[in-house]
């Protein structure tokens, strides 16, 4: 047999093997942050707030839900993914929780552009954000509320007593939601 005939037999065999594959159900579940119910914004004359792009640690880029061990190793939940980029989900969720807890109107949030120069802008820099293998959700975030010319209010939020169950994506998402809600309440309290 020539080399050409041998390659042709191999190629035909490989194609035949692909034809008989049975489809497998995808076991990956998609998750989003935020409350399940929408709260109607209050009518107010106070300055509106725009939620700027959150500054996240680089290891949170990507779609996987991740957690950290005490030695710094980052692992992911293999059958769980974020349904949207985490920066967009956090900005949207923070906006929803601010609407829920404040009399201020939220005019928009990242990734959409700020519509009015008169809007206040909330900037959040996350120093820590993650689920730990010991069951703790850690969030440390510096926030600034900027007016038209300068920082009007600022603060640092540190989560406390927020837990998740190792390997359980739903409890990780619930813990992140709880931490973001507490951050929104801290910002609201400073208004």
Domains in the chain: boundaries: 52-190
Name the β-bridge partners of 144.
123, 154
pLDDT the model gives residue 45: 61
Name the β-bridge partners of 136.
163
Q: pTM for the complete prediction?
A: 0.83
Does residue 22 or residue 155 have the better pLDDT?
Answer: 155
Q: What is the number of other CB atoms lying within 10 angstroms of the CB of residue 94?
A: 27
Query: pLDDT tens-digit profile of 83-98?
Result: 999 999 999 999 999 9
User: pLDDT-derived band of residue 63, with 50, 70 and 90 as boundaries?
Assistant: very high
Top mean pLDDT of 11-20, 22-31, 158-167 is at 158-167
Say if CB 93 and CB 106 are below 8 A apart: no
Residue 81 sits at the vertex; the CA angle it makes with 124 and 55, to the nearest 5 degrees, is 15
User: pLDDT-derived band of residue 18, with 50, 70 and 90 as boundaries?
Assistant: low
CA 170 to chain centre: 13
Q: At how many degrees (to 10) do helices 86-101 and 169-190 cross?
A: 50
DSSP state of 89: H
Say if CB 135 and CB 165 are below 8 A apart: yes
pLDDT exceeds cutoff 80 at 8: no
| CATH 3.30.1180.10 is the classification of domain 52-190 | no
Does residue 97 or residue 59 have the better pLDDT?
Answer: 97
pLDDT the model gives residue 2: 72
pLDDT the model gives residue 190: 86
Query: pLDDT tens-digit profile of 115-134?
Result: 888 899 999 999 999 999 99
Average pLDDT, integer, range 128-157: 93
Q: What is the number of other CB atoms lying within 10 angstroms of the CB of residue 152?
A: 15
User: pLDDT-derived band of residue 40, with 50, 70 and 90 as boundaries?
Assistant: low
């Amino acid at each position: 047999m020539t080399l050409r005939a041998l390659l042709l037999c191999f190629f035909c065999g490989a194609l035949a093997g692909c034809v008989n594959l049975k489809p497998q159900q995808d076991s990956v579940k998609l998750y989003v942050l935020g409350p399940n119910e929408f709260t109607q914004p209050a009518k107010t004359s106070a300055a509106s707030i725009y939620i700027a792009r959150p500054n996240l640690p680089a290891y949170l880029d990507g779609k996987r839900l991740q957690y950290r061990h005490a030695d710094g190793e980052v692992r992911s939940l293999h059958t769980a993914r974020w349904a949207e980029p985490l920066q967009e989900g956090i900005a949207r969720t923070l906006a929803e929780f601010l609407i829920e807890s404040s009399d201020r109107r939220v005019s928009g949030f990242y990734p959409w552009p700020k519509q009015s120069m008169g809007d206040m802008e909330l900037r959040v820099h996350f120093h820590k954000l993650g689920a730990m293998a010991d069951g703790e959700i850690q969030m440390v975030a510096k926030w600034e509320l900027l007016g038209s010319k300068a920082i009007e209010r600022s603060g640092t939020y540190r989560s406390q007593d927020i837990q998740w169950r190792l390997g359980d994506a739903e409890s990780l998402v619930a813990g992140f939601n709880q931490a973001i809600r507490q951050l929104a309440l801290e910002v609201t309290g400073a208004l």
